[in-house]
Structures are given as structure tokens and as C-alpha cells.
Amino acid sequence: MIKRLTSFLTLALFCNTAFSRSIELDGIVEVGYVDAAYDKNWLNSWMEGGVGVLRFNENDTLELSQALIEARGDLIDDLSYEVVAQYYPDGDQHVGISQAFLTYAPLSRGLKHQLKLGLFYPAMSLENVDTGWTSPYTYSFSAINSWLAEEVRVAGLEWSVTRSGRQYHSPHSFTFSAALFKGNDPAGTLLAWRGWALHNRQTSLNERVYFADYFQFGMFDKAFPDHLQVTRETDGRFGYYAGINWRYLQQTDVRLYYYNNSADPLAVESNWQYAWQNHFLSLAVQHKFNRNFRILAQWMDGQTGMGTYDGGVYTDFTSWYLMASYQWDKHRFSARFDDFEVVETDANPADPNDSHGHSITLAWRYQYSPQWNLGAEWLHVNSDNENRTLWRNWQAAHRQQQVMLMAQFRF
């Protein structure tokens, strides 16, 4: 279904241009110098089989971090489309589609209803609100939104209804959302077998995300794959989520979501890739003290698991971050603290899944011109992942540090 919808939206984009309907194109090309320092040289990126929690390796220097383009337009009155295509130099798939959906939003005088159909993110994040679901604050996402970028993408139908405060002469606005979706059955694989990570890479449709090959140590009877496909549908079940968004004037924004992929943890494919039963709560808050200074925070708590409790993998996971951001003229300064943890709850001691850690991120961004954004970021992370000890003489706890000097070109 998603392949057909993506093809349709791509065709619609060209038809839209040909027939002179309204079309908006926004894009980002991000390049920079990356200096990563690890206390052990085998803490490489998980995308290259390592057990580190950062995207870039120690020997990385000048990098094309990402390039993406977001296309939006109207097909007919009240019906619009949005497609986000992206390029990354690393990972399994360099070019792909991260989002592609239709939106039906009829005009009304009272409650405003909206339907969204396609491949998209649930609107849980207040951090990733820029073009193509990027962040205007830092170059690396929080641990929560790094994981959403990796493993949470729904292919389905969302209905939302909004009660606008302005429409009802009230300082309070409310939006309720609910969705049914397919796919996203592997969600939780990376949290269990790699732990949380911090980066800015978004997974594309049908892309494989690799992690370190823990299964070489024979912890299971079957040879499980050392990768996952985020949009995979394994058990035929529908997942769902529901959320409520409260906004007070232009100052306070609160989003509370419950997500459940309703996966059958015993459903397995021929290559022994399981469906992971994954459900969680997410609470995101933003408060603007004035035009220049704001704080953002997000908390997530959930469970994920596959197989049976005595022979499979089951974990609880939780994370939160707190960020302060200050805008001064063309400069934005942001500081974020992340805390994250995965706790094993199964009865399979041969497969250790406990992990925890915390990180500090400091970022400066300078809007040199409407097209050019320059900046720097320093990120320090401590992570303690028990499954690293499966390798002889490797320790669970390690430190990683990363400095980035970045330039973004926007069009």
C-alpha cells in the first residue's frame, strides 16, 4: 500500500507542477567537520557493526551529514500532499522517502477535522518541528527523537479534531488525534539489542537498520538477523495510537500520546525476524517565557518484547530530556540533558539487554542569511550497555564525545 501511495504522490507532484497548481519546495543540505573521540576504538557506529551510540566514527572528518527535500501542494480544494525525500551517505539505503501522505482538511466554522493517510510520524515531538522533521535547536536529536527517527513510522490513517481557542474566544486550544496503522512491527529491536542512541539520521521506507552481530555468541537456538526493517508488517494486525494536544496562547504546548503497535510477539518471518510487541507513553512540553527564551522537555516510558518470556527478549524502556534554548538576534544557543535506560524483564540470562546512560549537548546556531545557517555542537555521552560484555575483555560502560562544526544551506 505504501509503495503505491508513494508512487501516487510522486506522480501527483509532477502533475501538480505541470498543471500549475500550488507547490512548495523546501530543502536542506548539511555539511560539516566532525571530530569524534572514544575511549575505545571499537565503539564505532552501530550502522557499521559497532557498539557505540553515536552516528559518526572516530576517524570521520568532513561529512555530508544529510540532504533532504520536502514537497507540499494542493491536489484539489481541501486535499493536499506532502513528500519528504532524503539522502544520507551512510547506512543501508542512501536515498529514500521518509514521509509521504495526503491530508484532507475541510474548512469549517466550529471544530476543525482533519484526515491524514500515508506514511508519517505521530506528532509527538516538540523538538523536531523544522523542515523534514529536523530540529531547529541542535544538530543531534535527543535520545527519544533519535529513536522515533529510527524505529517509529506509521503507515495508516489518522483522524484529528481541533477546538481552536481563537474561534471560541478562549486562550486554550485542544487537538485530539487517533490513528490505525500497519507496519512498524519491529519497533523496539534497537532499544533491546543496542540501547538508546543520539544522532540525526531518519530511516527511509523499506530501509534496513543494522546493529552489532550479538548472535554470533549463540545466545539463541535460531540465527536471528542483525537488522530490522522499520515499516515491516509481520503479523497482519493493526496498531493504533491516540494523543491530545493542549496549547495556551502562544506560550505553552503540551502533547500526550499513547502508542501501541499491537504486534503478536510470537509472529515470526522465514528469516526469523520477529514482530515486537511495543507500547509506550510520550509526554512533550514546551513553554516560552518570552520571544527569546524557551524550555522543552519530553518523557517516554514503555515496554517491548518478542518471543516467550523464558526464551525471547522483553524489556522496559524509559528516557527523558530537558532543553533550554535562547534566541539572541541571529544566534540561537541550546543546552540539553538526556537520561535513558533499558531494563531487561525476561528470563533469558544468555542475552543481556540492560543499558543506561546520560548525555549533555551544547549547540550554537547562527542564521548568517536566509539560506545559510552556521553552527557548532558539542555532545558528551556516558553509556553502560551490558551486551558489550559478550565480547571478551570489553567493558559495559564507556564515554563518547563528539564536536561538530556545521553549515546548512536551505532552499
pLDDT digits (tens, 9 = 90+) for 128-164: 999 999 999 999 999 999 999 999 999 999 999 999 9
> pLDDT below 70 — which residues of the chain?
1-21, 39-42, 60
Question: Is 38 contained in some domain?
Answer: yes
**CA 201/CA 85 separation, integer angstroms:** 13
Question: Is 87 contained in some domain?
Answer: no
- What lies within 8 Å, CB to CB, of 21 at 6+ separation is 73, 74, 75
Give the residue among 31, 32, 35 at the shortest CA–CA distance from 378: 35
Question: Is 78 contained in some domain?
Answer: no
Please report where in the chains the cell 495526503 appears, as a residue: 102
Cβ neighbours around 340 below 10 Å, total: 28
Beta bridge partners of 296: 286, 323
Question: Is 184 contained in some domain?
Answer: yes
What is the reported pLDDT for 67?
96
What is the reported pLDDT for 41?
63
Question: Is 161 contained in some domain?
Answer: yes
- Containing domain of residue 54, as a range? 30-65+105-410
Q: How many domains would you assign to the chain?
A: 1
Beta bridge partners of 288: 294
Residue 98 and residue 153 in contact, taking contact as beta carbons nearer than 8 Å:
yes
Question: Is 43 contained in some domain?
Answer: yes
What is the reported pLDDT for 21?
58
What is the reported pLDDT for 39?
67
Question: Is 52 contained in some domain?
Answer: yes
Which CATH number is 220's domain given? 2.40.160
To 5 degrees, how large is the angle CA 373–CA 375–CA 376? 160
CA 92 to chain centre: 17
The reported pTM is 0.93
What is the reported pLDDT for 201?
97
C-alpha cell read off for 99? 514521509
Question: Is 164 contained in some domain?
Answer: yes
Per-residue model confidence as pLDDT tens digits over 184-221? 999 999 999 999 999 999 999 999 999 998 888 877 77
What is the reported pLDDT for 36?
84
